[in-house]
Amino acid sequence: FRKDNGAAIRKVCAQFVALCRAIGLLTTASVAIDGSKFKAVNNRDKNFTRAKMERRLAQIEESVARYLSQLDTADLQEPSEALAIKTAHLKEKLAKLATELERLKALEKRMLASPDQQISLTDPDSRSMATSGRGSGVVGYNVQVAVDTENHLIVAHEVTNIGTDRAQLANMASQAKEALGAEHLDVVADRGYFNSPEILACEQANITVTLPKPMTSGAKADGRFGKQDFVYLPAEDAYRCPAGEKLTYHYTNEEDGKTLRRYWATACPSCPLKSRCTTGPQRRISRWEHENVLEAVQQRLDGNPQAMRLRRETVEHPFGTLKMRMGATHFLMRRLPKVATEMALHVLAYNLTRVMNIIGVQALVAAIRTCLARCSRQHPAFA
């Protein structure tokens, strides 16, 4: 059923969100976006990345060297029946290792030829992904959801095999905005979604995002002043440093497709705070041409410190419920299109039970009947 009706199942999931809009359960135009890793039908031993392949090949080569050394030692001993049995056993192990080495070399070629230099043998679309636990990971999929902050209904979702969230913000926010039929949308997300072009795309689509910026400054990590300690002065197109000096504009260049303006001061060599600011001759500041968009995001976060708490309270319940219902193995189907259908069924079931808990079974059935009657009038063939 799932295999043959994937498109229809996904459409029903979207139509149920439209029904929730019609009965007034989605009125806030505010969502929290998050992603979570779900296990695929693929054992970790049947997934290979470059690092895992190198470790496995090194283990085999180490075992081969050890067995060859044992054979050399056996050659120096007096022949005996026990020694002959041991030698035959060692040669059998070496033959198995040679076969395994040949298999891994063939897999290595496939792995290196893949776009992300990773292969999974059982479910080829699944990928090895890091999870929140230190040193932990899963072979699976990254499920993205946009959850309405009022009633905690999943208004948009997508299954991806990309292990990070950095490129997902604009896509998920746009899907949520369309599903809600909103002119403007407010979005909260965690620092894993912080990506300048993605935030700009949201701004241009009339989507207001609130999320923290990850700590990536090497200077701040080393105990020196970070960029946030420098105040931009729009009227002068300059920065004021912690020592009160001005960093003025010098030139513009492009880096990673972004236009950046460069600022620095001439007073750095004699500044008493220089050791707390830079290890070079001068402290330089870069400003993206759309930096004002990122500054607005930070101002919103500073003005609403409860935003991250709202995000956690909104997204943790849906993900926890989905994983509890799916069981320890999570997905049962293989390949991304089928896995996406499976997730659509789970999202539909979650939203159904959520609405039943909010308005009751009878009210939901009545709303569905009203919707079906309207569809029949608008499309006679539907009846």
Give, for all 383 residues of the chain, the pLDDT tens digit.
777 778 888 889 999 999 999 899 999 899 999 999 999 999 999 999 999 999 999 999 999 998 888 888 877 777 777 778 888 888 889 999 999 999 999 999 999 999 999 999 999 999 999 887 666 789 999 999 999 999 999 999 999 999 999 999 999 999 999 999 999 999 999 999 999 999 999 999 999 999 999 877 667 777 889 898 999 999 999 999 999 999 999 999 999 889 999 999 999 999 999 999 998 899 999 999 999 999 999 999 999 989 999 999 999 899 999 999 998 889 999 999 999 999 999 999 999 999 999 999 999 999 888 877 776 666 554 44
Cβ atoms 83, 74 nearer than 8 A: yes
Q: What does residue 255 show for φ and ψ, rounded to 5 degrees?
A: -145, 125
Q: What pLDDT sits at residue 368?
A: 86
Cβ atoms 60, 52 nearer than 8 A: no
| Closest to 176 in 3D by CA, of 146, 198, 203 | 146
| Closest to 139 in 3D by CA, of 63, 39, 19, 55 | 39
Q: What pLDDT sits at residue 378?
A: 62
For residues 167 and 174, give the distance between their C-alpha atoms in angstroms, rounded to a whole number: 13
For the structural domain made of 6-42+126-213+301-382, what CATH number should be given? 3.30.420.10
Kindly list the domain boundaries of the chain, sorted by start residue.
6-42+126-213+301-382, 50-119, 218-287
